Amino acid sequence: MVKVYSINDCPWCEKVKKYLKSKNVEFEEHNIEENDVDRDACYELTGDTMVPITTVNDKDYVLSFDKARLDEMLGL
Amino acid sequence: MEKKRIHKDIVIIGAGMAGLTAALYAGRMNLDVLVLENGIVGGQIANAAGIENYPGFAKVSGKELMGTLQQQAESFGAVIDEFDSIVKVTLKGQPKLVETEEHIYEADAVIIASGMNRRKLPLPEEKRFAGKGVHYCELCDGHMYQDKVIAVMGGGNAAVDAANFLSKYASKLYLIHRSDFRADEVSQKRLKENPKAEIFLQTEIKSLQGEGRLESIEVLDKVSGKLRSLPVDGIFVNIGVVPNTELYKEELPLTPAGRVEAGEDCRTAIPGVFAAGDVREKEIRQLTTAAADGTAAALLAEKYLVKIKEGNPVW
């Protein structure tokens, strides 16, 4: 399952989510401002809490909106 | 695979205040209008936590203001594409060609409203700390500094408003600016009264230090000539903007600062090409003047389209 780590007010998070929707990619949203478990998971994955982070397997991830890298990771 | 060619009456490059206003006006004139945006729909101002100088709104967030404007433009038929990036534009002749990753748009008129990007911190170690203590978006990255020490670089309205916004996270907040305040009195007063804020004017940042992440900055007091080290966890850079005109520099006359030369009517040196908003050379760059530019560009583009149809495209 694709996961997107995000926060409440974050234009780039919105852009990533809109892009995934436009490509019919199902994803889970994990708000690291509202959930400490998600915050810890994001930190464990990336060593930081910058968002948005998109991951497909809790190992590979893409920071921010990087269309080329998202397409590659998600096979779009 | 060959890219699909699509005709548009007007292609607007950029979906900030100027671009979306132009889209709204063009849409209401029943024109076939496409807005292309490589970054965030709403532009830089979409990141503003609170706007208090847009007429008719006591206080509104950038997200709300620009979100409403986007809906307004779309409700009149404007199409906004924020995922298909522009790779090349050819502005001379008719039609204008705007090539994206997926399409080639043939436009009778082009409105360049590509705005500005924040100026990067001009220090060699900036790249090493980008995202690891050096940031350019308060709204996106401020949350990383809960109960931490933050410094904001800059002295204009954007910097001071950023500092006021970030103080909700910070345990301590420095505002550092190389000259005197340029921000308006209201924003300055708010920051000066903020108990977390300490203001260093006439102070220049000289270097960044840290192992992996930013840990401190070295600043120079330009009056006393003294260097000092300030322990900080993160800095937010707001030291001005650079115009987004890389795509047009071969065809359009630009100022030394890189802005497009065009008058109040937004007409550039190339017939059928308009420049609107912060990307246009002008003395005052505000949301209101960007909206005015978008209005003028769309209305005059429509007149140009009529002239083209009449076979008399005077400029």
From B182-186, B202-206, B310-314, the region with the lowest mean pLDDT: B310-314
Mutation target to probe the B interface, by most B beta carbons within 10 A, among A4, A6, A15 is: A15
Predicted pLDDT at B267 = 98
**Owning domain of residue B177:** 120-237
CATH of the domain at B11: 3.50.50.60
List chain B residues with CB under 8 Å of A5: none
How many independent structural domains does chain A possess?
Answer: 1
Question: What residues in chain B have their Cβ under 8 A from chain A's Cβ atoms?
Answer: 40-42, 46-47, 63, 82-83, 85, 131-132, 137, 139-141, 143-144
Catalytic residues of B: 137, 140-141
- B171 shares its domain with B251: no
Whole-model pTM: value is: 0.91
Distance from CA of A1 to the nearest CA of B (A): 23
Whether A22 sits inside 8 A of B47 (CB atoms) is no
B124 plus B232 within the same structural domain: yes
A51 touches chain B (CB under 8 A): yes
ipTM of predicted assembly, 2 dp: 0.91
Q: Under an 8 A CB cutoff, do B143 and A33 touch?
A: yes
Point out the residue among A10, A22, A32 whose CB comes nearest to the CB of B139. Answer: A10
Neighbours of B87 (CB within 10 A): 13
Range of A67's domain?
2-74
Q: pLDDT digits over B148-157, tens only? A: 999 999 999 9
Each residue of B68-100: pLDDT tens digit?
999 999 999 999 999 999 999 999 999 999 999
Statement to judge: residues B28 and B96 lie in one domain: yes
Report pLDDT digits (tens) over B261-271: 999 999 999 99
The whole-number pLDDT of residue B111 equals 98
A11–B140 CB contact, under 8 Å = yes
Which pair of structure tokens corresponds to residue B63? 């997200």
Examine the domain organization and report whether B27 and B106 are in the same domain: yes
- Render each residue's pLDDT in chain A as its tens digit; 76 residues: 899 999 998 999 999 999 999 999 999 999 999 999 999 999 999 998 999 999 998 999 999 999 999 999 999 9
Q: Indicate if B249 and B228 belong to the same structural domain.
A: no
pLDDT above 90: residue B221? yes
Q: Which of B47, B82, B131 sits opposite A50 (nearest CB)?
A: B131
Please give the Cα distance from B214 to B15 (Å, whole number). Answer: 34
Q: State the best of A5, A6, A7, A43 to mutate against chain B, taking most chain B CBs within 10 Å.
A: A7
User: Which tens digits make up the pLDDT trace of B274-283?
Assistant: 999 999 999 9
Q: pLDDT at residue B1 above 80?
A: no
CB-based contact A10 B140, cutoff 8 Å: yes
* Cα–Cα nearest to B118, from B285, B242, B262: B242
Domain check: are B24 and B59 in the same one?
yes
Q: How far is CA B205 from CA B112, B171, B264, in A?
A: 34, 21, 37
Report pLDDT for B48. 86
DSSP secondary structure letter of residue B254: B
Please give the residue that has the higher pLDDT: either B159 or B139: B159
How many domains is chain B built from?
A: 2
